[in-house]
Structure 1
Amino acid sequence: MTVSWAAFHAAEPEFADTVRARFGAFKHHVLATIRPDGSPRLTGLEGDFRGDELWLGMMIGSRKALDLRRDPRFSMYANPGTGTGMHGGDVRVSGRAVEVTDAEEFARYAEGVSGGEAPERFHLFRAELSEVVRITIEDPHIVFQVWHPGHALRTIRRADEDSTIHEDL
């Protein structure tokens, strides 16, 4: 099951805002797609939150775009930033990339591209989410927040010293 960013936000608004802010801290992120042979491909990408959607725009004919056309599954990991502070935590979204083929929807997106004109031709995908994960450190715990469509946000605290797992439901 996958849902739009808007549906994720409606289900867990505070968590969605935290995740979006973490992605907004840096421009470039890491996208994982699946190559034709089934192995992973990691590439850079600028995720674009516009309106109630998460958009993935790519150069025409890029390998990652061709990967998504063939197999729409993806994960996008927020840029960890500099140093080892993990400010805002590690954040990842996973799901399916739905290619935009409707000319009007494509034109509306292109009109709102910031920093100048949109390229004449490019691939555009709308992210549909199946999982959102945030990992932070709250000494002495590693804290995992995990969300899946149709389920409540789960928080799991794990203590390093004894590998005890505490789950808040």
Structure 2
Amino acid sequence: MARMTSWQEFAEQAPELAESVRARLEAAKHHVLATLRRDGSPRVSGTEVGWRGPDLTMGSMPGARKALDLRRDPRFALHTNPDDGSMAAPDAKIAGRAVEVTGDELRAWVEEAKPPSEDSHLFRLDLTEVTTTGLADDHTHLVIRHWTPAEGLRTFKRT
């Protein structure tokens, strides 16, 4: 099993990358979440993310397929909204495992966030990898920044 880390730990280890990814997540309301269906095939869903204290979180309507997928198999991939396609800002992808928040912490979130239903799901997103892909300043190649808890931050160039 791949090592996981919280958003806060990621931000401490790779602050510039975390700032870039957070900006992409906050630039648009809706992003694309990939989960695994019972048969192992992928399911993509629109989703919103936010921060609760130091954690990257995702809410879901009660009984939504994506929430049921994550309860059964917590692995996920999240792709930021591609915006206008110009690549003016780097594209960001996050993968990891979603941990469902329950009990007092869930009740506190419901009281604070006031989701449409008190039966909503809340997941903390623990990270196994984060990647951004963007154009170099001179537009001659792609710059790929890839981070994992085990290997830290690595930068690649593709022409």
The TM-score range, normalised by the shorter chain, is: over 0.9
| Separation in structure 1 between the aligned mates of residue 28 and residue 88 of structure 2, nearest angstrom | 12
Q: CA RMSD in A?
A: 1.1
Alignment of 1:150-161 (within 5 A): 150-159=150-159
**C-alpha contact (below 8 Å) 2:88/2:135 kept by paired residues:** no
How far 1:51 moved relative to its partner? Answer: 2.1
* Structure with the greater alpha carbon radius of gyration: 1
Q: Which has the higher contact order (CA 8 A, sep 6+)?
A: 2
Code of the aligned partner of 1:121: D
Unaligned runs of 5+ in 1: 160-169
Code of the aligned partner of 1:29: H
Runs of 4+ in 1 over 3 A off after TM superposition: none
Scaled by the length of structure 1, the TM-score of the pair is 0.87
Unaligned runs of 5+ in 2: none
Equivalent residue, structure 2, for 1:97: 98
How many residue pairs align between the two structures?
154
1:106 corresponds to 2:106? yes
- Percent identical pairs in the alignment equals 47
| Separation in structure 2 between the aligned mates of residue 12 and residue 110 of structure 1, nearest angstrom | 31
Scaled by the length of structure 2, the TM-score of the pair is 0.92
Equivalent residue, structure 1, for 2:147: 147
Alignment of 1:36-51 (within 5 A): 36-51=38-53
How far 1:158 moved relative to its partner? Answer: 1.2
Code of the aligned partner of 1:97: A
Alignment of 1:65-76 (within 5 A): 65-76=67-78
